[in-house]
Structure 1
Amino acid sequence: MKLNKTFLAVAAALPLFSFAANANTVTAADLKERVFGSLFGEYYMPDTKKTESPDWNYMEKDWGYGVELGYYLTEQWAIRAEYARMEMQSKLDGSDVNGNRYGLDVMYHLPQLSSVYLVGGLKRFDAAQNTTAFNVGLGYKHFFNQNFALYAEANRYQGIDESYGDAGIKLGMTYAFGSPAAKAAPTPAPAPAAPVQAAVVDSDGDGVPDSADKCANTPANHKVDATGCSIFEEKMAAVGDVDIEVRFAFDSAAIPANKISDVEGLGAFMQRFPESTVVIEGHASNIGNPTYNMRLSERRANSVADILKNKFNIAPSRIKSVGYGVTRPRVEGNTSAAHAANQRIEAKVTATIKEPVLR
C-alpha cells in the first residue's frame, strides 16, 4: 500500500514552515499543565481502495471539520481527544458518504523545536463502514500570545480491522486556557562577610596550623602531610631466615608431629602480617639417585606450603616452594649426622614495613 503523495509533501513541508514563521512568544514551560481546545478544518484523502470500491461507495477526497480538547502533561508530552465530521461524497454519483471520526492522541513536542510535534493515536470511523485505525503524524503550532495559536498537521490513518491507508491535513486554531505559572525571582546572594584574620597556632611546630592538624605532637624530624600526620613509605624487608628445623625421616616428606608447631608459628606470623611472603626451600641428603632426591625435596617443601594454605588460608600467591635436592647441603660429608642435618626445610620470609620519611 503506497502512502498518499499529498500527505508526504505536506509532512515534509511542515518543518520548513516552522522555520519560516516568526519565533513563538510562548515556551514549552509556559504550556505545562494547561488545558487547550482547538477548532480545525481538514482536507481528507481516502485510500484508492476506498475511491474505487463500491463497499466504500467510491468515497472521494473532500473537506471536514472538527474539535479537540487536550492537556499539556509536561513540557514535551500532551494528550488530546478529537472529534471530526467528515463531509464526504461519492465519486460515482455525488451522494453523501458522511461520517464521524473520534479518538485519542498522544503528542510529543521536540525538545529543541517545541513548535514541532509528533502525534499518534487511535481513531474510530463510521463513514460508509465502521472501522478502527491508528494514526501517526507531524504538526507545527505557532503561538501569537500566551493563549492563541494557529497550527497545521498531517496524519496517516492506517486501518486495523480493514486494510487501508488514508491521509488528512488539518489547519486550525488552538486556545490554551489559563496562563503560565509565575516564575519566582531568584533570591539575591547575601553580601560576603568581611574576612576575620585569626592568629595562626601551630603547637607542635610541624608547619600545619592546629585548625588543620589531625596528628598532634608529631616528631620534629618527621615530614608531615597537609593534615599534619607523619608521612610513611613502605619498604620490603627480609625478616630473616626462619629455620623451621624440620628433620624428615629417610625418604619421607611427612612433617613429624613434634615439628608441626614450628610450621604453625610461621602460618600465624603470615596471618598477622598479610603483606609478608615466604620462600620454602626443601633439601635432601646425598643418598641415592639425585633426580629422585630433587623430587623428594620438592615434596618436603610442598608439605609445608600445604599447611600454610589449607590451615591458615595463606594465599598461594604469597607462597613459593622450591626443591634443591642435594645441591645445597647444610653439612658436607657422608655421615649419618650430615644426612640428618640436610633432610630439612628452610623458610625465607619477607614483609612490608613502614618507615617515617625524615626531614
Structure 2
Amino acid sequence: MTRVKQALFLVGGRGTRLGALSANTPKPMQEIAPGVRFLDLILENAARMGFTDLVLLAGHLGDKVEEAYDGQRIGEAAIRVVRESQPMGTGGALAQAAQVLDEHFVLLNGDSFFDINLRALTAAPLPEGGGRLALRMVEDTARYGSVQLDGARISAFIEKNPDLTGPGLINGGIYYLDRAMVSRIEAPSSIESDVFPELVKEGRLEGLPFDGYFLDIGLPETLAQAQRETAAMRVRPAAFLDRDGVLNEDHGYTHRVDDLTWIPGAREAIRLLNDRGYRVIVVTNQAGVARGYYEEEAIGVFHAGMQAQLAEEGAFVDAFYHCPFHADGKVPAYTVEDHPDRKPNPGMILRALNDWQVNREASFLIGDKPSDMEAARRAGLPGHLYTGGDLLAFVSGIIGPG
C-alpha cells in the first residue's frame, strides 16, 4: 500500500456569518495570533504528518489565497492553489480539481480544526471507489445530525432533529477518498448531501471515530475562541527518539530498507505518541557515512522506508535529524573532530527545538546509550535509557495513561 501524500483543503466559502471580518479576508485566513492564520495551523498539521502535496481549493477571494500560499512550502510539503471558475459547492470544487488528484487523498475543511492523527484515517485500504470519514463523538447530536455505523461501514446519515437528543457520532469534516468516486460528482453540488448518501447505499463509505479538539470558525464567537485557544496548540511536547537500537534493530551501520527490522512495539509506540499529540523527532548518529560505508542519500531512503511502513500502522515521524560526521572518518568531507550534532553533543536536539514549536517542559528523549542520555542532559531534557523489551510498554510507562 502506497503512503498517501496528498491533502486537499476547501477554502472557497464566503464566510457570510462572520460579517465584515470576511469581507476582504477569506474565512480560513483569519488571524488567530499576530502573523498566524487559522489555515496555517491546519496546513502545518498536515505537513508534520507527512502529507507533501497540499492543494488549496479556492473560490471566494481566491486571489488572496493564491497570493499568500501558492508556491509556498512547509518543510518538505509544497502548497498549490486551484481556483474555482464559479461557486461550485464542496462537490463541484473537488470535481474541478479532478486533474490534479492522486489515486487516494485526504479532503479537509479549511475553516475547522479537528486535532486527530490523519495517518490513522488512511492506514486501512479504502472501499473501492468510496471513502472513509473521520467521526467525532458529541454529547448531543440534536443540533448536528448524526452518523450511524454498522461495524466500520456507515449505514445512515440522520438529519439534525431537536427531538433526537443524546450522545452520538457526527461528521468531523475530514474525508479519506478514492479518486474514482469523483467521477460521480455533478457540479455544482455538495459532496455531503449529494454524493455520500449514494456511497452509503452501495456500502462504499466507512466511518472512523476519533477523540480530539474540534473548532469551526464560522461564527464571530468561535473565531474569537480560536484566537484564544488554537495558536497555543501549535506548541506540542516532543518525544526525541534515537533510531538504531531503539526503533529498529542495530545490525551495524544499518542503512538498507531491506534490513529494517523494527524493535518490538516500536511502531505501536510511535502511533501512541502521535495519538497523544506529541511531536515524534528522530535524532540519530550515522557515522557510516564518514566511514565510507554508504552515501548520505541512503539515510533519506531508509527514513522514507520507515515512514511508509509506519503509515501502514497509522503512525508517522514528524522529522528526522541525522549526524553523518565522525572524528575517525575515511571521507574527508565528513571527518570532523567534535561535530556539535554528534551525540553526546546536543546539536540535533537543539536544532529541532529551534525548527519546531515544542513544549520543552513536557518533552523527553529515549535512547539506548549513555551518549544519548548525555545529549539529553546537555539539551535540558529528561533522558530515558531503553535497555530492551517492548517499546510500547516502555513509552506507556513514561507518558502515563491517556
TM superposition score normalised by structure 1: 0.23
Higher RCO (Cα < 8 Å, 6 or more apart): 2
Which is richer in helix?
2
Give the structure with higher Rg (CA): 1
